[in-house]
Amino acid sequence: MKIDRLASDSSSGGLRQGWNRFWFSPVEAMQLHRLRVLAGLVFLVWMLAFTNQQGAFLSLQGWFDRDAYLELSRKETLVQSAPAPVGWSIFYLADGNGSLFQSLYWGGVAIIALFTLGVMPRLTGILTWVVVVSITANPAVSFDADFLMVILAFYLMVGYAFMGLWQSGRSPLERIFGPHDALVFTWFRKHRAPAPRSYAANFAIRMLQVHFAVVLVASGVAKLQLPDWWAGVAYWYPLHPPFQTTAESYAREQGYAPLYLAGLSLAQYIALAWQIGFPAFAWRGGRWRIVLISGGVIGWLGSLFLLGLPLFGPFYFIGCLSYLRDEEWRRISGWFGNRTGRGAEKPFRAAADANKIKVGTQ
């Protein structure tokens, strides 16, 4: 069975070396680039879905207006009963200025699009995080999964803030705005260079992995504190929305309720076991990858179709993908035609070999 470096660290070189290998060894920067593109697409869909309603959701003239914020800030009891803490937002800068607000909103969309494409990622990464945090500021429409988007944006920002700074050969512009090879368009060149290795990419991915595992375990354990989850009937409720359930449909279901509820409770406990046991298999290779990825996919489909919730699914899926290693990504790239995988580097490597250049990838 293949086991990731983390699992083998303690036996092969002691705790300190294991720690260093886990956090401070370089990986192909492409790993972070792929996560960035996926997360960027989710951010874009999330933000564009508010189009025509952006003022209502995000501005101080919207559903939760300036007066409401002022009242909230004056009463401690209100702050405690609010579903989310009130924080900062760049959209508040517009106050009552509609044009400025629209400029900030569409500017935010443009920044996220540029970051997704990999344009000046050091700069756009920071700005993307600012935009993502700003979207989550309205406590009246606060959604749990919004905070998961902040996690993605934060670690991507950290990764790109430091990527390439410890690598010789970067131009001054790249040192300021971020590495050029982050640009999506460069991945499809016929003779592109091998993906550089990066400490920052590894550090950001490891931070995301650990935080993702914390999210899963904490939410899984918290569910077990709720009677409906312990009783195994938690999935019953989203499948029986009160306004769609009638006395007749309820009476019909009573006939086969024990079997039906046994199936639901089993499915629920399998999901809980996946969540709580996540750290035990997330860093393992081999067949555990099927458990990892299929759990992410089922989590996405379940949260969307069973619970009718956006954003949770993409976060789970991207979180699971963050555990894949270089060679696993290459294998997946191979399934999709190898356009962005190592195969595209072959002509370059062949040319380098022909010219007797030593290819160094640390």
Residue 225 burial by CB count (10 A; 0-12/13-18/19+): exposed, middle or buried? exposed
Q: Residue 34's closest CA among 195, 214, 207?
A: 195
Residues 99-138 that bind another protein (CB under 8 A): 133, 136
Judged by CB under 8 A, does residue 6 bind another protein? no
Residues 249-268 that bind another protein (CB under 8 A): 250-251, 253-254, 257-258, 261
Helix axes 30-48, 312-321, angle to 10 degrees: 180
Judged by CB under 8 A, does residue 154 bind another protein? yes
Residues 301-340 that bind another protein (CB under 8 A): 307-310, 312
Q: What is the spatial distance between Cα 354 and Cα 338, in angstroms, rounded to a whole number?
A: 23
Residue 175: CB atoms within 10 A of its CB come to 13
Judged by CB under 8 A, does residue 186 bind another protein? no
Residue from 95, 144, 327, 353 in contact with another protein (CB under 8 A)? 144
Residue from 90, 113, 120, 234 in contact with another protein (CB under 8 A)? 234
Residues 25-44 that bind another protein (CB under 8 A): 26
Residue 196: CB atoms within 10 A of its CB come to 19
Residue from 10, 12, 14, 23 in contact with another protein (CB under 8 A)? 23
Residue from 5, 12, 110, 166 in contact with another protein (CB under 8 A)? 166
The size of the interface with another protein (CB under 8 A), counted in residues, is: 100
Residue from 196, 285, 314, 341 in contact with another protein (CB under 8 A)? 196
Residue placing its CB nearer to another protein in the complex, 45 or 287? 45
Helix axes 257-276, 288-301, angle to 10 degrees: 120
Judged by CB under 8 A, does residue 279 bind another protein? no
Judged by CB under 8 A, does residue 245 bind another protein? yes
Smallest distance, another protein to C-beta of residue 286, A: 27
Percent helix, percent strand, percent coil in the chain, to nearest 5: 70, 0, 30
Judged by CB under 8 A, does residue 207 bind another protein? yes
Contact by Cβ (8 Å): 315, 149 = yes
Backbone torsions φ then ψ of 4, nearest 5 degrees = -65, 165
The long-range contacts involving 98-104, CB below 8 angstroms and separated by at least 24 positions, are 98/55, 98/59, 98/61, 101/54, 101/55, 101/58, 101/59, 101/61, 102/54
DSSP code, position 195: P
Residue placing its CB nearer to another protein in the complex, 132 or 289? 132
Q: Which stretch binds another protein (CB under 8 A): 2-10, 110-118, 231-239, 336-344?
A: 231-239
Q: Which stretch binds another protein (CB under 8 A): 36-44, 101-109, 117-125, 207-215?
A: 207-215
